[in-house]
Amino acid sequence: MTKIGIIIGSTRPGRLGPKVAGWVHDVAAQRADAVFELVDLADFRLPLFDQAVAPAMGGTGGPEAQAWVRTIDTFDGFVFVTPEYNQQLPGAIKNAIDFVYGGWANKAAGIVSYGVAGGSGAAAQLRQMCGLLGLADVPTQVSLHLTSDFEGFTVFAPSESRTRLLGELLDCVVAWSAALEPVRSARAASIA
């Protein structure tokens, strides 16, 4: 069965990511077409990327990076849950993405972003990265605004329309992940 990782893209104290990702997981858990798993970057304690040999060239990093790479390898697709810091992608998710190379290829990704402007700047940067890594980013996106989707900027209260949009995003991520399975299998066979 298709396996989708829901990645919490922030590690800072007081972050809203676990609340948003929990909502994504709760909605996804009602589906029978894939298995969904929360992946919290904070659990991996990745150092700043400082590898002498890039992952694209065979670099593997230390034990934290190796655990992260092994985790990413187990998924067929992803939903990135990302905040926006100063209209940019958080350093934690950019750093984590840099530790992996082949594990992103030929998989699908959806984006759930949040922030004052709905996380649009972070989502745009993440889409650019997806393209460069061979991740097929689905066109549907959920943008959550701190002023309308959070009460007092902290209590997450998504509307019914946001939940419907999330369902559409999950439909795409699951379908695209399944459609790319033959490509992943052919790639794995050529490497073996």
User: What DSSP letter does each residue of 114-133 carry, written as one string?
Assistant: EETTTTHHHHHHHHHHHHHH
Encode 55-71: b = buried (16+ Cβ within 10 Å), e = exposed: beeeeebeeebeebbeb
* Res. 191: pLDDT tops 90: no
Q: What are the phi and psi torsion angles at 178 (to 5°)?
A: -65, -40
Structure confidence by residue, pLDDT tens digits, 150-184: 999 889 999 999 999 999 999 999 999 999 999 99
Q: Is the pLDDT of residue 56 over 90?
A: no
Per-residue pLDDT at 60 exceeds 80: no
pLDDT 10s digits, 82-98: 999 999 999 999 999 99
- Per-residue pLDDT at 57 exceeds 90: no
Global pTM value: 0.96
> What structural domains and CATH numbers belong to the chain?
3-191 (3.40.50.360)
Closest CA to 27 of 54, 4, 58: 4
Residue 50 pLDDT: 83
Does residue 52 surpass a pLDDT of 80? yes
